[in-house]
Amino acid sequence: MSTKRISRREALRAAGIVVGAGIAGVGPRPLVPSGLRQVVYAASPENPLRIGFQVHRTGIGAVYGRWWERTAAAAATYINEKGGMAGRPVRLVSEDDGTDPARGAIAVEKLTSEDKVDLIFGTLFSNVVIGSAPRAGELKIPYLVVSEGYHVASGKLNRYCFQPGITDVRAQLTAISSWIVNNLGKKITMIYPDYAFGYDHRDFWGKGAARLGATVQALIPIPPTETSFTKYFSRIPADTEVLYHVMVGPGVPTFVKELGEYFGSKRPHLFGFIDSLEGVDLASPGLEFLEGSHFWEAFPRYAGGYNTSFERTYRERLGVSASGASARDPKDVSTYSHMFGVWETLFVIKQTVEQSGYKRPGPKDYKAFIETLERFQGFSEGVGHPQGPKKFVGRIHQAFGQQFISRVDTKRLTVVHKTKVEDSLYPPEADYTKQPL
């Protein structure tokens, strides 16, 4: 047996971890509260930070879950190459929630009690978030979701729940409603999923439309497990000028095809959330009906839609082509407009761990982690935040960012409008910081 002493640098190199630049190595610094130090760390392979990753591997959210996992793995690899979090390598511990609220709560329980993770992040569907968040609060473990629903910002959850890596539906609608009314029409019919995420669209678009002088002609909720949609289209009023659609799940291509068959060449203006076609090739047969219609995007799918060096680095690290599909398989289309939230949330965790001095699970370190994150004022655009700058409102645990509107031109999306971060702001209706820890 060799008696040669292995240096710390050699040990780190053997573990595939570059001695670290910490915060300084991953892009511009966060907008941290005054008095907090920026610290440079060296990674230690012996004491990983175990981050629980609640993911939709099965169920109707599986398309998202597959790309959520790729994004999380790419972000963890990048962070580890730059020194980890506070000098500790990141280890993801994944748990499938089946896109099911009950299983979501079980996943939170397992990650906390059996896997002994430091904290939990990841899940998307709002019904799963709402089903899981109470258990995270009972277990008193930080739970950072990558959803879109207003459930976090509304104050319905608890102080352990955050959404720092992606904007919520209310903010998205606040930013883009005037563009829809001014460019497409004032008589609007809405088709949306019959659960919390859809209700956010229904409620906040309805309020926004009224303030802008528009009217919602009809509301048409559709169960998330529905497979045939024509029977709903007869409820669309004939004087509808804008058909607003946001559908999620494997039935969406069928929804669009049947919509095209129903209207033919005479249709109202269409405005959809890209949720309706995430993971779907716009050149798919039957989607010709969408030519000239518009979509909201949080992050443009096609290269050049938001052409920054940070976006290009992010796209390359994810292995995504210029058309938004896997570089290895053009038929494997990504969920590009949403999955950046996974990447950005891991960088928020890194920044919070390093600023709070977090070391291990427990009331003291969790208190420091939560209170530090609540004091952040935003996140600067950079490799860790390629979608753009974010404002963070600590009292409602929610991030705000810019939004994009794109048009379908020759079977691809072209950005036609970008909002400012400030366009999405609304008055907070809650204050989690007043809840005890």
pLDDT at 432: 98
Is 344 exposed, middle or buried, given 0-12, 13-18 or 19+ CB atoms closer than 10 A? Answer: buried
Contact 163, 91 (CB under 8 A): no
Q: Both tokens of residue 19? A: 């001695």
Query: Which pLDDT tens digit goes with each residue over 176-205?
Result: 999 999 999 999 999 998 888 889 889 988
Residue 158 has pLDDT above 60, yes or no: yes
229: how many CB neighbours lie within 10 A of its CB? 20
**Alpha carbons 302 and 324: distance in angstroms, whole number:** 6
Query: Which pLDDT tens digit goes with each residue over 406-429?
Result: 999 999 999 999 999 999 999 999
Contact 161, 336 (CB under 8 A): no
**Alpha carbons 206 and 412: distance in angstroms, whole number:** 29
52 DSSP β-pair partners:
93, 120
**Alpha carbons 126 and 275: distance in angstroms, whole number:** 13
Residue 32 has pLDDT above 50, yes or no: no
211: how many CB neighbours lie within 10 A of its CB? 10
Least Cα distance to 124 among 290, 381, 301, 298 occurs for 298
For 184-272, where are the alpha helices, taking DSSP H only? 196-211, 230-233, 252-263
Q: Which amino acid is at 155?
A: G
Please state the rounded mean pLDDT for residues 352-360: 97
159: how many CB neighbours lie within 10 A of its CB? 19
Least Cα distance to 175 among 386, 418, 414 occurs for 418
Residue 226 has pLDDT above 90, yes or no: no
Residue 252 has pLDDT above 90, yes or no: no
Residue 160 has pLDDT above 60, yes or no: yes
Please state the rounded mean pLDDT for residues 78-104: 96
**Alpha carbons 437 and 432: distance in angstroms, whole number:** 10
Range with the poorest average pLDDT among 4-13, 161-170, 332-341: 4-13
Please state the rounded mean pLDDT for residues 64-87: 96
- pLDDT category at 286 given cuts 50, 70, 90 is confident
Residue 291 has pLDDT above 60, yes or no: yes
Please state the rounded mean pLDDT for residues 349-366: 98
Residue 247 has pLDDT above 90, yes or no: no
Longest dimension (CA), the chain: 84
Query: Which pLDDT tens digit goes with each residue over 44-58?
Result: 557 999 999 999 999
Q: Both tokens of residue 68? A: 């959520």
Q: Pick the more confident residue, 252 or 127.
A: 127
pLDDT at 45: 59
